[in-house]
Amino acid sequence: MSAAGETIHASALAVAGKGIVIRGVSGSGKSSLLLALLTAVPSAMLVADDRVILSASGSGVEAAVPDAIAGQMEVRGLGVVRRPFVSPVPVALVADLLPLEQCPRMPGPDRRAVLLAGVAVPRICIAIGSIHAPARVLAALAAFTDNTLI
C-alpha cells in the first residue's frame, strides 16, 4: 500500500486511473471535494484522505495512502467511514483550494503547474467553498489529459 516518499496534508483520488491530489489548509474542504467527486463519478476511487505520500516515479509522480489510514475518509457530521481504495496512482492533476482572490480567472503558464516530489504536475486553483469545484476539477483533468472524461 504505502511507499517511501514525502507525506503531505492533502487528499487524493483516482478518476479513470488518473490521480488527483487535493490540497488546501485545514477546513478548506479537501474531504468535502473528495466526497463530492467520489459520489459523482462512477470510476472514481479513494486513494487517501488527510495524508498523501508523494513519490517520484519514472517521469511522473505517484500518490499513495499511508498504511494507517488506508481505506478511511472523514465525512464531516458522520465521522470516519471506510471506502474501497486504490494505491498508488500516477498523479495527473493538483487541485489547490485557495481564497477567491488567489484564484485567477485566466491563469498564466506559471500558475498552471506545480512541483510535486520534484516533478511538474498540471494544477488548477479553486476558490474555497465553490459549488462548482467538482465540475472544475473534472474539466481540468480532461483538459490536461485525454479529454474523454467529461
From 103, 90, 101, select the one nearest 21 (Cα to Cα).
Answer: 90
Helix H or strand E segment including 79: strand 79-82
Residues in contact with 119: Cβ distance below 8 Å, sequence separation at least 6, in sequence order = 56, 59, 60, 61
pLDDT of residue 147: 62
pLDDT of residue 76: 87
pLDDT of residue 108: 82
From 80, 100, 97, select the one nearest 27 (Cα to Cα).
Answer: 97
Euclidean distance between CA atoms 106 and 122, whole angstroms: 15
pLDDT of residue 1: 42
| CATH top-level class of 6-144 | alpha beta
DSSP-derived secondary structure for 39-58: HH-TT-EEEESSEEEEEEET
pLDDT of residue 9: 96
- Residues of the chain with confidence (pLDDT) below 70: 1-3, 147-150
Is 3:67 a contact under the CB 8 Å cutoff?
no
Residues 2-44 have pLDDT tens digits of 447 899 999 999 999 999 999 999 999 999 999 999 999 999 9
What is residue 2's three-state secondary structure?
coil
% of the chain at pLDDT higher than 70: 95
pLDDT of residue 109: 80
Q: Where are the domains of the chain?
A: 6-144
